[in-house]
Amino acid sequence: MKLFPILILTFFIQTCSAPNSLSPQQIIDKCIAYYGGNQWEKLHLGFTFRNHQYTLYRNSNKFIYTRTSITENPIVDSLFFTGTFKRYQEGLPLKVSDSMKKVYAASVNSVLYFFQIPKVLNDPAVIKERLEDAEIMGKNYHTLRITFGKEGGGSDFEDEFRYWINTHSFAIDYFAYSYQTDGGGTRFRSVKDRVAKYDMQFQNYLNYQPLSKNTPLDSLPYLFSNGDLLLVSEIVNENIRQLYSQKQ
């Protein structure tokens, strides 16, 4: 009977400390589960973003991304998981220089990458590190630092991300990143709204930037809470639709 209080205390300590004992991978797995889990492994979706129609076909780690301009004579860009880029107009291939292929491919990949967060956090090139938990706007968050290996990390493998994942729901309410391409810069995104479809969660964002592009990522939540970030755009994916039954 003397051991009973000790057992209660041990259980209490283990229960309270459990969230802090989660590894980066465990946090990501719970996060992906919140957004639909295995639904992201095999899917074929379309959506509209600004002046283009996008499609995403994924089967495990194999994918095809397309972007079609909303014009009278639409141009279709296709990016394959092998890194191959192709451009068509009226069903005919267009000749594109190697330098412009990289530009177009990066542009297509950027939109589809952000659309698939957090699924992409399990890509092979991702390096995951857990940082100290943070409080943002009165809520508690796990903080993950995401970097990329050179092999498989793409042309922008030097980018660095922070994800703030709600300790209760495991939803991503905020994330930020620094990039080196096009002169470099820093962005902070907060969730504008969520769209629930096909047993999945999709997010739209408010996109902010700090006054200095060299602002440390870990200071951005503080600046956001104080209203010291500049709203530069909204990231809204419209008309999300399933292009075939995911049960096939």
- Extract the tokens encoding 192: 């504008």
Query: 98: number of CA atoms within 13 Å, CB side?
Result: 0
Mean pLDDT of the chain: 91
Which residue in 103, 97, 105 sits closest to 80, CA to CA? 105
- The pLDDT of residue 150 is 78
* Mean per-residue pLDDT, 90-116: 97
Architecture field, domain 24-242: Clam (2.50)
* Mean per-residue pLDDT, 68-80: 97
Instruction: Indicate the range of 43-57, 95-109, 140-154, 219-233 predicted with least confidence.
Output: 140-154
- The pLDDT of residue 5 is 45
* Mean per-residue pLDDT, 22-37: 98
φ and ψ at residue 198, rounded to 5 degrees: 55, 40
For CA atoms 229, 157, 76, 55, give the dihedral sign.
negative
For 65, the enclosing helix (H) or strand (E) is strand 62-69
Listed by start position, the domains of the chain span 24-242
With beta carbons less than 8 A apart as the criterion, state whether 40 and 58 touch.
yes
